[in-house]
Amino acid sequence: MTAGLLREPWLAEAFDTVDREAFVPRAVWLPVRDAEGFWRFVDRDEDPDAWRHAVWNPHQSVITQLNDGDTAPGPGTGDFTSSVSALDIVMRKLQHLDLVPRSRVLEIGYASGYHTALLCERVGSERVVAIEVDEELARAGAANLKAAGYDPELIVGDGLEGTPGGEPFSRVINTAALRRVPYAWIEQSRRSGVILTPFGTAYSNAGLLRLRVDTSGTKAQGAFIGESSYMWIRSERPTIDLQVPEESISRKSPIDPAQVLAAGYLQDFAIGLQVPDVSYSHRGEGDDRQVQFVDEAGTSATIVRYGDWWEEDAVRSWGPRDLWAEVTAAYTWYEVRGRPHITRFGVTVDGSGQYLWLDDPRHLVGS
C-alpha cells in the first residue's frame, strides 16, 4: 500500500510505530459526495470497517472538520478546514524534508497530531515545536499526542509568525497551503535549513515547494518538487467582496475557453503564477456554460461564454481589468515556453519580498 513511499528506513519504522487510528476522530467525512450531495460521513461506531478503510486509504485524506468547526458531525456540506492528510502525501513530504536525527523542527498546523508524532519518532519529542491556530483542534491533537506517549512543545497561535526565541530550526514544515512564504520562517531557520510547504495562488492551489536557506541566513530559495493540494492556511484563504460597476464591455474571445481551462491543474498552476490574484468558477451546463473570473480586490470581473466564444458578445468585463485578457496572455506565455512542468518553477524569498521564477532565479515569471 505505501511500500514505495517508505524507502527510507526511518519512515518505515515510524509508520509501523505510530498508530494512525489513534489520531483520527471517531466521526469523519470523506472528500466524496453521497447521493444527496453531502460529503460522505463515516462513524466508526456505526461502520468500523468503512472507517478503518478510510483511515488507511493511502491516496485519500480523512476530513476531520468542516467550516471551521461550525458543522457538527453528520452529513454535511461546505468547506474542508482540517484533515488527517493522505498517507502518500505525508510520506512524500517527509522524504523531501531530508530530516536527520536531532534536527530541530518547526511544524505549522499540527491538528490531530499524526504528522507531529512521525516527526517525534525521527528527532525526539524534545526537538519538535508545533503550532496550531484552531483551539479546539489544538486540544484534541495535544490529547492524542499525550496518549500516544509524545511530548513535543505545542503552541496555540498563528504559525505564519513562527515562534521567536530559542535555538534556530533545521527544518520548517507546513501542513496547509499558503501564497506567501513568511520571512519569519527564514529568520528562525538555521543557515542551510530546509522549509517545505504547500503553495498556491487564488487561481490554482497545487504546488509543493522546497526552499533552502542560504549561508547568510537572510534568503531562502528553491523549486517546486511536485504537486500537492492542501487546505489553505486560514489567513491566506482567497476572499472576495465583489464591488464592480454596473457598466460592462463586451468583445469576442481570441481562443476557445476549453483550451485554457480544461487541460488540468498543472497548466492552471503555471497560469496562476502570473495571475495570482485571479480566481475562477464555472456556472451553467451545455450551451449555457460560462466561466467567471474575479480579482481579489473585488473591483474587476469577467465572464466568458463557452458556446459561440468567437461571437462579439462572448466576453463581458466589469471594472478596470479585462481578466480574460490577462489569463489568455498567461496561457500564451506558458505555451511559448514549451508548457514547462511545475518542477521548473521556483521561488526566492528575502527581506524585500517573494519572487517567482522559471528555471533560473534570474528569469522572473511575469517579466
Measured distance CA(276)–CA(180) in Å, rounded: 11
Contact 324, 353 (CB under 8 A): no
CB atoms within 10 A of CB 24: 22
75: left (phi over 0), alpha (psi -120 to 50) or beta: beta
- Produce one character per residue of 115-142: b if its CB has 16 or more CB atoms within 10 Å, e if not: bbbbbbbbbbbebbbbbbbbeebbebbb
CB atoms within 10 A of CB 37: 8
Residues 6+ apart with CB under 8 A from 61: 31, 80, 83, 84, 85, 86
- Produce one character per residue of 220-238: b if its CB has 16 or more CB atoms within 10 Å, e if not: bbbbbbbbbebbbbeebbb
Is there a catalytic annotation at residue 103?
no
Contact 30, 60 (CB under 8 A): yes
Contact 119, 36 (CB under 8 A): no
End-to-end CA distance of the chain: 44
The catalytic residue among 83, 85, 103, 279 is 85
- Catalytically active residues are 85
